Amino acid sequence: MEVFVADPIRLITAALCGLVILLFLIIKAKFQPLIAILISALGIGLISGMTVSMIVDTVNKGMGETLKGIALLVGLGSMFGAILEISGGAERVALTMIRRFGEKRAPWALGITGMVVAIPVFFDAGLIILIPLAFSIARRANKSALYFVIPLLAGLAVGHAFIPPTPGPVLVANILGVDLGLVIGLGIVCGLFAMVFAGPVFGRFCGERFAVPVPEAYLNAPDYDEKKLPSFASVVAIIMIPLFLILINSVFQAIPSGSGIDRLRPVFTFLGTPFIALLLATVAAMFLLGVRHGYSRSELEKVMTKSLEPAGLILLVTAGGGVLRYMLQDSGLGNVIGNAVAATPLPIVVVAFLIALAVRISVGSATVAMTMAAGIVASMPVVSGLSPLHLACLVMAIAGGSTAFSHFNDSGFWLVKSLCNLDEKTTFQTWTMMETIVGTTGFVVALIVSFFA
């Protein structure tokens, strides 16, 4: 590809114009995010003075380079989550955790359950599956529904934002070139702190301050027939397959050669490749959660094919973010931003968080915020000199900024409002604050870790 050099002032002007175009198209014109992102990226290229042929090459490169690292993971993850959903695996995890923790510590059980379930299941689906259980406990305990719903929401938000193989952190890790095992390990650490503060702790505060009754639609909900649910051990074991294999691969890669494991290293390198690990988990789920519980192979095929519909949207928006990332990089804007950041006293982790947060507040979509922030950060020259752990901290910072301050332009805000029968003010005081605690806590933990990276 030809080398492009432009005046820094023109590049900054192009970036600002691109951002204004993006915000206008999404917020005012109500364009679909993919169309808005592509138009914004093309605008940046044209205004910065890139040739038409270079813009086209950059678009093609952005689409291809982004999708090749995430397409299989999103598709396999969607099918895996669909099997877990129809089999009742999510309900089994929740019921078992609540039974073992006891009803008095049910908020902790719901928070942990949300974290586990959100790894293979999309946030919206996980919430719709599990919220009846939270309402059922609230009804029996005669407490505000938020006392139990907030921890569940926090767990789901944490699992969805911080822990691969969910699409968000996988996307950011792929753009920044970070080992996924390292991201999983750090994501669990950041996620646990975020879940505790945003879940049981903040949930108790919300439960005491806001007397929210259980919605009438859930007052007479039937109990689960546990005889039809899969075993807790099988569900957890299947969910842990990809995490375990990816983590083991990362550990083996860190052990120096000649230490007696050289023969095993290629085996775990293969098994720990993210799409191989997730493929094995999906196949295991097909037989252990699907076929063994009465679903025919044709029924499973229909369910798994149906699950790919939302995956297509996620992949296209993600690819659009990749186009934006390479447009910023190839136009030279990354160097300009990187030099400006280098002149400030702010750590790069803080900068990454603030960029993601600004997009999240403006646009509302966590996926768009992650793709834009990761693209801008990846285009900065300083990133190439960071250690793997420092890069993993950047992933967590971007995930945190893309989670915080969910408000009226986020679909999650309205989903929680409708499910819990809340007014806008209460939703803002509870859901928005919970998301902000999740995002900022995860970011703060990542920032602390980055000082030792």
pLDDT tens for 121-164 read 878 888 888 898 899 889 888 899 999 999 999 999 999 999 98
Identify the pLDDT of residue 69.
Answer: 67
115 vs 226, residue with greater confidence: 115
100 vs 26, residue with greater confidence: 100
- Nearest alpha-carbon partner for 438 in 176, 201, 198: 198
125 vs 100, residue with greater confidence: 100
Q: What is the arithmetic mean of pLDDT over 249-265? A: 75
Identify the pLDDT of residue 136.
Answer: 87
Distance between CA atoms of 22 and 317, rounded to whole angstroms? Answer: 13
pLDDT digits (tens, 9 = 90+) for 66-92: 787 678 888 888 888 888 888 888 888
Q: What is the arithmetic mean of pLDDT over 352-365? A: 84
Average pLDDT of the chain, as a whole number: 86
Identify the pLDDT of residue 224.
Answer: 62
120 vs 187, residue with greater confidence: 187
Amino acid at 175: I
277 vs 362, residue with greater confidence: 277
pLDDT digits (tens, 9 = 90+) for 56-65: 988 898 888 8
Which residues, other chains included, contact 162 with Cβ-Cβ below 8 Å and sequence gap of 6+? 169, 187, 188, 190, 191, 194, 396, 399, 400, 442
Identify the pLDDT of residue 452.
Answer: 92
Q: What is the arithmetic mean of pLDDT over 434-441? A: 97
Q: 2: pLDDT confidence band, cut at 50, 70 and 90? A: low
Amino acid at 193: F
- Nearest alpha-carbon partner for 132 in 202, 199, 209, 224: 224
The answer on pLDDT for 217 being more than 70 is yes
Identify the pLDDT of residue 400.
Answer: 96
Identify the pLDDT of residue 88.
Answer: 86
Q: What is the arithmetic mean of pLDDT over 393-409? A: 92
The answer on pLDDT for 13 being more than 90 is no
Identify the pLDDT of residue 342.
Answer: 59
For the chain, the farthest-separated pair of C-alpha atoms sits apart, in whole angstroms, at 68
42 vs 262, residue with greater confidence: 42
- Nearest alpha-carbon partner for 426 in 192, 154, 184, 144: 144
Which residues, other chains included, contact 356 with Cβ-Cβ below 8 Å and sequence gap of 6+? 369, 370, 372, 373, 397, 398, 399, 400, 401, 402
Q: Are 232 and 140 in contact (CB under 8 A)?
A: no
Phi, psi angle pair for 43, to nearest 5°: -60, -40
Q: What is the arithmetic mean of pLDDT over 195-221? A: 90
In angstroms, what is the C-alpha Rg of the chain? 22
Work out the burial of residue 140: count CB atoms within 10 Å of its CB; fewer than 13 is exposed, 13-18 middle, 19 or more buried: exposed
Identify the pLDDT of residue 260.
Answer: 65
Distance between CA atoms of 132 and 148, rounded to whole angstroms? Answer: 11
Indicate whether this model's pTM tops 0.75: yes
Q: How many CB atoms lie within 10 A of CB 408?
A: 12
The answer on pLDDT for 96 being more than 80 is yes
Give the residue ranges of DSSP H helices in 292-387.
297-331, 333-342, 348-363, 366-378
The answer on pLDDT for 333 being more than 80 is no
Which residues, other chains included, contact 252 with Cβ-Cβ below 8 Å and sequence gap of 6+? 261, 264, 265, 268, 269, 272
Identify the pLDDT of residue 18.
Answer: 84
Q: What is the arithmetic mean of pLDDT over 84-104? A: 87
Q: What is the arithmetic mean of pLDDT over 392-414? A: 90
Identify the pLDDT of residue 115.
Answer: 93
Cis peptide before 165 (omega within 30 of 0): yes
